Amino acid sequence: MSATLLRTSTTARSALRAGASRRAAAMASMSFVRGKATLPDLPYDYGALEPSISGKIMELHHKNHHQTYVNSFNAASEQLAAAEQKQDIQAQIALQPLINFHGGGHVNHTLFWENLAPSKNGGGGEPTGKVKTAIETSYGDFASFKTKFNTALAGIQGSGWAWLVKDNETGQVQIRTYANQDPVVGKYTPLLGIDAWEHAYYLQYQNRKAEYFSAIWDVINWKAVEQRLK
């Protein structure tokens, strides 16, 4: 997924970097060169994660929330391209929080949909193979890992995400929380993300977020996690 997702603006940026003399030409063709981020289809039906996550939540979350991140990211990317074109560094810097927030929202939700699966299609249970080994190396056993992950989720102050990530330097896995839509980038690779924004559970669980954090383990797609660890 991330390959498709993240390709969008790099093409255009390298086109723009080609040089001042070719800037006008690049600009003219930009709307064709630039790929727009688009809302990915869910790999299952809206109701397929019930009873862990209601169909209504899934539908709003995907069609409205995720779509808004996609739209706003595309709008911010266009403004960024225009600012680059004008060599307006201040404007480029001023756009970074929007790129981070909406780009992060798009990337995070795309990873989230993929790391969930209906229990009848293999969601839930415990990880096997490489993921199991990696988790046991860092957390002793799966039960302790789950407890720590849920504690991390419950400790988020405001909106955010908890992730199982791989530290690219050590190769070890660890639990990390991120505020708002901050994406997992840099020295960490995202393996498994849980959305702890209120919109992810409120219609079904209201303030009882611990129940959501407990129920979501029934629909974790460990196969997707394993693919990301490779």
Partner 1 sequence: MATKYTLPPLPYGYDALEPVISAQIMTIHHTKHHQTYINTLNNALASQAVATDKNDIVSQIHLQNTINFSAGGHINHTLFWENLVPASSPSAQTHVASKLMAAISARWGSLEKFQEKFNAVLLGLKGSGWGWLVQDTESGNLEIVTTKDQDIVPAGKKPLLGIDMWEHAYYLQYLNDKGSYAKKIWNVINWKKVEERFVGGSDSVFGTLAGLRSNM
Binding-site residue positions for Mn(2+): 61, 109, 195, 199
Contact 150, 156 (CB under 8 A): no
User: Least distance from C-beta 164 to Fe ion, angstroms?
Assistant: 17
185 contact choice in partner 1, Fe ion, none (CB below 5 to 8 Å, kind-dependent)? none
Closest approach of partner 1 to the CB of residue 159, in Å = 4
Q: Does the protein bind partner 1 through residue 97 (CB under 8 A)?
A: yes
Binding test (CB under 8 A) with partner 1, winner from 71, 92, 119, 180: 180
- Given the rule CB under 8 A, which of 20-28, 34-42, 110-118, 191-199 is the region that contacts partner 1? 191-199
The type of residue at 195 is D
Member of 40, 54, 177, 202 binding partner 1 (CB under 8 A):
202
With respect to partner 1, which residue has the nearer C-beta, 25 or 179?
179
Rounded Cα–Cα distance for residues 189 and 124 (Å): 22
Q: How far is the CB of 7 from partner 1 (least distance, A)?
A: 24
**Helix-, strand-, coil-residue percentages of the chain, each rounded to 5:** 65, 10, 25
Span interacting with partner 1, options 40-48, 125-133, 154-162, 163-171, rule CB under 8 A? 154-162
SS3 call for 123: coil
* 211 burial via Cβ count (<10 Å: 0-12, 13-18, 19+): middle
Binding site for Fe ion (CB under 5 A): 159, 195, 197-198, 200
- What whole-number distance in Å separates Cα of residue 34 and Cα of residue 8? 6
Binding-site residue set: 61, 109, 195, 199
DSSP state of 163: E
Does 198 contact partner 1 by CB under 8 A? yes
For tokens 């756009």, name the residue: 95
Tokens at 22, concatenated: 């070719």
Which is closer to partner 1, CB of 18 or CB of 179? 179
Q: Report the C-alpha gap between 199 and 148 in whole angstroms.
A: 23
Q: Are 123 and 223 in contact (CB under 8 A)?
A: no
Residues binding partner 1 (CB under 8 A): 60, 64-65, 68, 97, 101, 157-160, 179-181, 197-199, 202-203, 206-207
